[in-house]
Structures are given as structure tokens and as C-alpha cells.
Amino acid sequence: MNDHNLERPRLPEPISGLWEIAMNLSWRWNPRARYLFRRLDRPLWHRTRHNPVAILQRVDPGRLARLAEDADFRRLHDEVLATCRREESREGTWMAAEHPEFGDRPVAYFCAEFGLHNSVPIYSGGLGVLAGDHCKAASDLGVPLVGVGLLYVKGYFDQTIRLDGWQEDMEAAFDPASTPLVPVPGPDGGRVVARLEVNGHDLAIGAWKLRVGRVPIYLLDTELEENRPEDRQLASRLYPGGRLERLQQEWILGAGGVRVLRAVGVDPAAWHANEGHAAFMLLERVRERMERGSTWEEAVERVRATSVFTTHTPVPAGHDIFPLEQVEACATRLLDTPGMSPARLAELGRGLEGPGGFHMTALAIRLSGGLNGVSETHGRVTRRMWHPLWPGRSVEDVPVGHITNGVHLSTWMSHSLMEFLDGHLGAGWVHRLADPALWDAVRGLDDEGLWRVHKRRKETLLAFVREQARHRWAEHWGDSGHLVGAGTLLSPDALTIGFARRFAEYKRADLLFRDADRLRRLVTDPRRPVQVVFAGKAHPADDQGKRILQRVYEAARDPGFEGRIAFLEDYELHMAHRLVQGVDLWLNLPRPPLEACGTSGMKAALNAVPQLGTCDGWWAEGYEGSNGWQIPLAPDEEDVDAWDARHLYELLEERVVPLYYEGEHHAAPRGWVAVMKEALRVGGSRFTARRMVREYVSDYYIPARRGTPDGLPVEAG
């Protein structure tokens, strides 16, 4: 703890609030706060990748002294500080106005990943970014929410690509001292906040607190002196090597997370397990009740009544199944609780395959009264998938609902577009997101103005691409093929397609290459060229994903594509912002029905960037005909990949390219801009995290707080 305080810089009194502002991630979505830190030191703002804590630790004291004398800067500082403090209370928020009866007891939101800012890299992809956006929207709405996760000091890996296109995974540790993380003191003032039995011995658990506007997130940490050396790293790797390590992490997150909340005096009214990784949270609460004298049945019933579980994937590999003996060995002390038994534990974790494995999703389903998938399609797929757990019911009556994911508008929409909308929709429109008339008004936006805003974002993206290519070239390669492959030859005038996400096989980054000659003709058309920017990481253990990445990378270096295909290394939040704001078209090609939802296309839509995608995840419900393009579902007898590739080429050749290049040189292409406006209208009215969190409150949190989620019977088999 003292170490951390040493990192706290000395600031001149008139601007000493800078530290307070930097220590709450709400600066991230407050444009005035971003401006404040940019003004503080522009080169450092860029060099630290927008990390205010690191800027304050490194900025020249002389500069601070001068700024403390600058009346303009002081006014800006005071204004931002006042906003920051106003947001300490929930007064005047949507929750306070609409649901005052909910009170202050929070919803505990457990998730194995949180993607909040690139300076805190404790996420690997969509699930984490979604959890981050959930917390931000809960803060905006005044929903009392407390996050619980793990502090992976060795978080996200750095990706570099070898000359032959193979991904190298470099484990990268980050330093909590250069982030807004604050260590939580334990009951005796030390670092130990709670204790948990893991595989028969005691583990000490520490915690860090991260403030995200009004929402605190507790991140658990086992790197404590008193832990055995082999246990210290248990919670510290985002990609643990083995299954046992992963099981122990989930045990720490779920069971340890409940104990940490108890230790710091948080008393949740409702509990949300976001994905099966967090399901031990439910089991620990059953144990607590039995320890206090409840019967097994009572304990299970009470936990169910106050719990919500969200499942995020229909892909089998996305569901954790552990060997039953491993779970029993990990939870020996749990099994000592009177009334608990190996048979009961086995029954709770029994999957569809029968006994033997311990299925985390099945555990979560049995212990949660509120259950949902994350898009309309995914809700349906999930009901079908888990139907055997409700043998007496028809598939339609399986009590799994859906809430379609959404993204945090002020995080993802570019500042220039927000300013442009201020001019047309009136300042304060961000507080009227739920008003449909607001989004209808988008249709009346000035074409030329919107096009200019977009072109600027595109130039910013290309400048970012060149800068990144320059660094990589100098640092690692000096190889011209890489320089081209990294996007240095991209042109601001060509139709630019973005494809960025994890390189999982079902996402099909290589679908575009199925007919390489046809792609080549599109890309090298002298009058109407197309360029494609790829980014994304393969999971370190996913060789199939790495082979797809290699294929894309080879194309990026292939002179036959004339430098119009680029692969950007090291995809993360910072780059994701640049991409969704700066490309012309977002491409999303999951093989239906494997994409539960997908959120990057929503981020693009909020920047008036339309999507071309398969009929899956959010696009199955988000495509309205006017806001982008959709590949129709393949009939049963067709080869899905062949069908989808053919439609992809046809849509690009016959619809997308002609529309983009229609009209006078330099003037806004009217038909294209009309699609952009529709993308923005649909994205803004239907796919924000604000809409999503409001639905969680009314459909799940309020019933869970009452202890009767949705009136669902307690009978899952």
C-alpha cells in the first residue's frame, strides 16, 4: 500500500484535483476531462496511450507549476472536478427517478474479465469489453452495481507477428501503480482481505478497487507474501496454462469474491453471474446459508431467488467443464459443511453429457432464477441447447430469456461526431438516448457535414496505422513486406473495410479469401478500389486461429494485392476505437448460429459506419434493410461457407462498391450517406448499453431483489 502512495505525484494546490479525476475511470467518457489531460501534456497523452495516472507521474514539475498559474487551465480543472464529484451521488439519475424503491443495496456483478481501458488490460475480448460497458452504463443510470473480478497482472499478451506470419504471444505484465487501482486494506489493516480454502489449504486473498464513475469494481489478487509461492500467481494470468489452474481461478473469483464483498461490508440485494466462469459465487452463497442452519433445499431456493445468470456463447468450447474429482479436491472444505455432499455437488454440476464432468454453465443455470442469452437468436439457441434440463417442458417454455447486448455510447462514439450531433440535435442529447424522436432526427443530418466528420476520422485512422507501422518497422523488422502489410500504402480515398475481432475459427476472417482472384479484382480495381484492414489476436492455445491469421497476414504482404490489405498487430481497446470510427464498412462473418451477439459492429454503427454481416447474433435482429447489408441464411442443403462467400462477393461487387463510388468526386455520396445515417439511427436507438442495462434492471434485477425472479418455478432438473 505504501508503495502505491509513493507513486502519487506532488501537485500544486490549485490543480491538485487532477489526481482525484485521474483515479476514477469516468474521465474516459467525459470529453472535458480528456481535453484537460491532453492539455496537461499532449506528447505524454499520446505516449502513454491516454493514461492520466501515468501522465501525472511523469509530467515535468515546471510545467505543472506554470499550469497552476494559468487561469484558463484552472477553470477547466475546477469544472471537471465538480462534474467528477457530482457523480459521487445517484441523485437525479434514471434509477433514482424511476426505481427509488430499489434502494442502495447493490447488484453484485461477477465477471472473469473487465475491458475498461487499455491501461488495465484484464480482458481478452468481447466478454470483457461488454462487462466494462455494462458497468459504465450502470454508472450513468445510477444503478447501484458493484463489480467483482480478478486482477490479472499478467493480463493481455502483446502480439507480434513473425516474418512467416505466425503469431508470437508475449506475456506482458502491467504495473497497477500506473493505473487508478487502489489496494483495499484488510480488516487488520494489511493486504489480506479474505481467506479461502483451495485444495485443502488456506489461501489469502487481497483486493484492489477500481472506480468506474459511480460503480466500484473489486479485483482479487493472490500475490501476497503469506501465500505459498506456487499459489501467489494463481489469479495473475489471464491465460492460465492448465485446466486445474483455470478451475482454481474460477474458485477464487466466485467463492473468494463473495468473501471479499462480505469483508468490505458490501451487502448485495441481487447477484449477477456474467458467464459460467463466475458460477462458484452461487455455490458459496449456498454454503453460507447452510453454515447458518438452512437446509439444502432452503439454501438453494434462496440463492436461486436472488440470482441472475447470463450465458454468452453457444460454442461448446466456450463452456468450462472440469473433471468432477478436480472440483471435489478443490472444494474439500466446502464438502465438510453439514448437509453438503459429493453427490449433491455432482448433481449441481451435471452437464448434458451425464455424470463425470462438472459443468459450470449447468451449475449456474441450476442456481439462478433469472436466466438470459445475449441476443434474440442466442436466446432461442440457448433454450434449445439446455432444453434437457427441463424435461417436462417444450423448448419454447424453457425459462431462458434474452437481453441483446449494447455498447457504451460515450465510450465508443467519436468526439467529433458527438460535437456534430450537438449542433443538430441540441446539446444535452446524450441525456435523451431513450427518446425515439431523437434518433429519427438523425435522418435530417446534413450529408456533407456528416461525410466531412467521417473523412476526418478515416484520416486519423490512417495516420495511426502509419505511425504504428513506423514503430514496428524500426523496432523489429526493417522488412519492407511488413511495412506494406502493416498498412502504409492505404489510401484515404478508397472504400475501406474493417474486420477486427478475435481470430476464432467460426468468425471466419479468411472467408474473404475463399476466391482469391475475385478478391484481387475487387481490391485492385483502378477506378473503384477496395481496401481491407484486419486486426485481432488468436487465443495463445488456438493453433487453428493462428493459421487463419497467418493466411490473412500472407495476403497483406502479397504484392498481388497492391498494398490494399493490411493487418494491424496488437488489437486492443485503443486500436478498436480508431478502427470502428475510421473505416467505411464493418465486416462481420460468423458462421450462424455461433455468434451469440457480437458488439464491434454496434460500435461502428454508433459512428455511422454500416455493417455487412451474416444473419447471426445482433445482426439477425439489427439489420433493417436500410442500415447495411446482410448475407441471407444458407438453406440446409448448401455448403454454408461457399454460400456465404458467394453472397459476400456479390454484395460487395453489386451493391456496396457501386453505392460508395456513386456521384461526384469529393462530394458526399448521397446514397451511401443515407445508409450511414440509418446505421447511426438504428445503433443509437436499439444497441446502446444504456438500453441493455435498463432491461437488466426491469426484467432481472428488480425481480431478483424481490427474491422472485420472473416468477420462475424452482424445478430445473
Chain residues in the site for ligand PLP (CB under 6 A): 125-126, 129, 501, 571-573, 576, 598-600, 603
Give the residue with the Cβ less far from ligand PLP, 95 or 576. Answer: 576
State the minimum distance, in angstroms, from the CB of residue 227 to ligand PLP. 32
Which string of DSSP letters, residue by residue, matches 595-657?
-S---HHHHHHTTT--EEEES-HHHHHH--SSSEEEEPPPPTTS-HHHHHHHHHHHIIIIIIH
Residue the block writes with cell 489476436: 537
The Cα–Cα gap between 76 and 85 comes to: 14
Give the residue with the Cβ less far from ligand PLP, 304 or 691. Answer: 691
State the minimum distance, in angstroms, from the CB of residue 700 to ligand PLP. 22
**In the numeric block, which cell numbers belong to residue 519?**
478478391
Q: Identify whether the C-beta of residue 563 lies closer than 8 Å to the C-beta of residue 490.
A: yes
The Cα–Cα gap between 625 and 675 comes to: 9
The Cα–Cα gap between 141 and 431 comes to: 10
State the minimum distance, in angstroms, from the CB of residue 533 to ligand PLP. 14
Give the residue with the Cβ less far from ligand PLP, 248 or 496. Answer: 496
State the minimum distance, in angstroms, from the CB of residue 574 to ligand PLP. 9
The Cα–Cα gap between 253 and 54 comes to: 28
**In the numeric block, which cell numbers belong to residue 214?**
459511480
Amino acid identity at 598: G
Pairs from 83-92 (Cβ < 8 Å, separation ≥ 24): 83/30, 83/32, 83/33, 84/17, 84/20, 84/21, 84/24, 84/26, 84/27, 84/30, 84/33, 87/26, 87/139, 87/213, 87/214, 88/214, 90/142, 90/144, 90/214, 92/142
- Residue 354 is given by DSSP the state B
State the minimum distance, in angstroms, from the CB of residue 409 to ligand PLP. 14
**In the numeric block, which cell numbers belong to residue 108?**
453484485
Q: 109 phi and psi, to 5 degrees?
A: -115, 105
State the minimum distance, in angstroms, from the CB of residue 216 to ligand PLP. 23
Give the residue with the Cβ less far from ligand PLP, 304 or 501. Answer: 501
Q: Identify whether the C-beta of residue 565 lies closer than 8 Å to the C-beta of residue 155.
A: no
Give the residue with the Cβ less far from ligand PLP, 17 or 132. Answer: 132
State the minimum distance, in angstroms, from the CB of residue 197 to ligand PLP. 35
Give the residue with the Cβ less far from ligand PLP, 251 or 571. Answer: 571
The Cα–Cα gap between 498 and 495 comes to: 10
State the minimum distance, in angstroms, from the CB of residue 568 to ligand PLP. 12
Give the residue with the Cβ less far from ligand PLP, 254 or 540. Answer: 540
The Cα–Cα gap between 429 and 442 comes to: 12
- Residue 628 backbone class (left: φ over 0; alpha: ψ -120 to 50; beta: rest): left
Crossing angle between the packed helical segments 71-86 and 61-69, to the nearest 10 degrees: 90
Residue the block writes with cell 455494462: 134
Which string of DSSP letters, residue by residue, matches 175-240?
-GGGTT-EEPP-TTSSS--EEEEETTEEEEEEEEEEEETTEEEEEEE---TTS-HHHHTTTTBSS-
Give the residue with the Cβ less far from ligand PLP, 303 or 573. Answer: 573
Give the residue with the Cβ less far from ligand PLP, 129 or 609. Answer: 129
Which string of DSSP letters, residue by residue, matches 280-305?
HHHHHHHHHHHHTT--HHHHHHHHHH
State the minimum distance, in angstroms, from the CB of residue 118 to ligand PLP. 9
Q: How far is CA 259 from CA 104, 240, 599, in A?
A: 20, 23, 32
Give the residue with the Cβ less far from ligand PLP, 112 or 365. Answer: 112
State the minimum distance, in angstroms, from the CB of residue 571 to ligand PLP. 6
Strands 628-631 and 307-310: unpaired
Give the residue with the Cβ less far from ligand PLP, 117 or 564. Answer: 117
Give the residue with the Cβ less far from ligand PLP, 126 or 545. Answer: 126
Give the residue with the Cβ less far from ligand PLP, 377 or 599. Answer: 599
State the minimum distance, in angstroms, from the CB of residue 672 to ligand PLP. 23
